[in-house]
Homo-oligomer: A and B are copies of this chain.
Amino acid sequence: MDHLRVAVIGAGFMGKAHSLAWRSVAAVFGLTPRPALEVLCDVDAERTAAKAAEWGFARTTTDWRRVVEDPAIDAVSVTTPNHMHREIAVAALAAGKHVWCEKPMATALADAEAMARAAAGTPGLVAVLGYNFACNPALLHARRLIAEGAIGRIVDVRGQIDEDYLADPEQPWSWRLQKSEAGFGTIGDLTVHLLSMIHLLAGPVAELCASVETVHPTRPLADGSGRRAVDTDDIGHALLRFSSGAAGVIGSSRIAHGRKNVIRLEIHGDRGMIAFDQERFNELELYLAEGPRPTRGFRRILTGADHPPYGQFCPAPGHQLGFNDLKTIEAARFIDAIAGREEPVFGFAAGLTIERTIHAMARSAARRAWVRVEGEAG
């Protein structure tokens, strides 16, 4: 296969991010098969045509089923609203296409489970989730350090993900605030990112106890005609217990004034600590309990060519990658997986684990009790 013929379904924020990644990945990584941007699909024909021209797609459609049925497509990016993920992803897999689906996986746990089953049932196809932050060279380096034992056994984990896009209580109502369309609020939109990164570094969460709530119960309607109820969560916090036995605690919010992309992680080992913040994602902090005591301290490591695959983008350290570069790394990993060169970072099975974790958070919050992440025993 010389080329990987790709389609992108959804031409919004993430549709553009996928398209940019598809455009750049072969040039950045020098890998094969090279993607060919075949089809862009979204509901508004005119706008989709315009975006296809801008982003470099050969053709367009307004019907995602046409994409899925198209024999000239090898791989599909799914960047639609969340409640459509299941249907599209399952159909695409059934039609023999590799799938790169945005997070969160689905709005209902049954949907995510169906997607994972579909992926398991098509072992020759690659089905991955768009956990772009997990592909950051700084985090991949952290994972290597942990695997090598640099900080010893993990004993505790701290995490925080905060944004402020709904911090203003008078921010108008939108579909994101309605459970039937959006699924969860903060925990589906933000906490899943945090959990994906934690999963990468510290493994799966076995049980948890969560507090999940809507702080601003109504929002004004954009047309000024009154207020409408909000039934998705603004805040989600949890105590964690990892399968490894480690403890943990996390907080998350979409109403945290001033926070634009805070994702703070601390991995506490019995020989050192790793700390990280997504707002400065080209940096990693590392403390090692070794060497003379008076010179010990947290090191601020700036990523560079010593932290693959940073060097694919730029040979000079400290020059920094951007958000879209992380998406390009994700695309490279997806292609590598398709070519059989490497395991995917977040396949549907791993993605289901993240979904189960946030559903466990919701269940725990409703019951006000500790619950197990897997199954019904909790």
Binding site for B on A (CB under 8 A): 13, 16-17, 19-20, 23-24, 26-28, 30, 50, 54-56, 141, 145, 150-151, 155-156, 158, 160, 163-165, 167-169, 209-211, 213, 215-216, 235, 237-239, 241, 247-251, 253, 255-262, 266, 268-273, 279-282, 284-289, 293-302, 304, 306-307, 313-325, 368-370
Q: State which of B259, B293, B320, B370 has its C-beta within 8 Å of the C-beta of A281.
A: B320
Interface of A, secondary structure class, is mixed
Given A20-B27, A24-B23, A324-B322: A297 touches B247 (CB 8 Å cut-off): no
In the complex, are the beta carbons of B251 and A297 less than 8 A apart?
no
Given A23-B23, A26-B54, A55-B27: A323 touches B319 (CB 8 Å cut-off): yes
Q: B residues within 8 A CB of A211?
A: 209, 239, 241, 247, 249
In the complex, 16 of the A-B residue pairs with CB atoms within 8 angstroms, ordered by the A residue number, are: A141-B294, A155-B255, A167-B289, A237-B239, A249-B249, A249-B251, A257-B269, A257-B289, A258-B287, A280-B280, A286-B295, A297-B299, A297-B301, A314-B322, A314-B323, A322-B325
A305 smallest CB distance to B (angstroms): 9
In the complex, are the beta carbons of A260 and B317 less than 8 A apart?
yes
Q: B residues within 8 A CB of A151?
A: 257
Q: B residues within 8 A CB of A165?
A: 316
Nearest to A252 among chain B residues (CB) is: B249
In the complex, are the beta carbons of A156 and B314 less than 8 A apart?
no
A48 smallest CB distance to B (angstroms): 13
Given A26-B54, A54-B27, A320-B322: A258 touches B298 (CB 8 Å cut-off): yes
In the complex, are the beta carbons of A260 and B215 less than 8 A apart?
no
Q: State which of B156, B216, B282, B370 has its C-beta within 8 Å of the C-beta of A255.
A: B156
Q: B residues within 8 A CB of A300?
A: 297-300
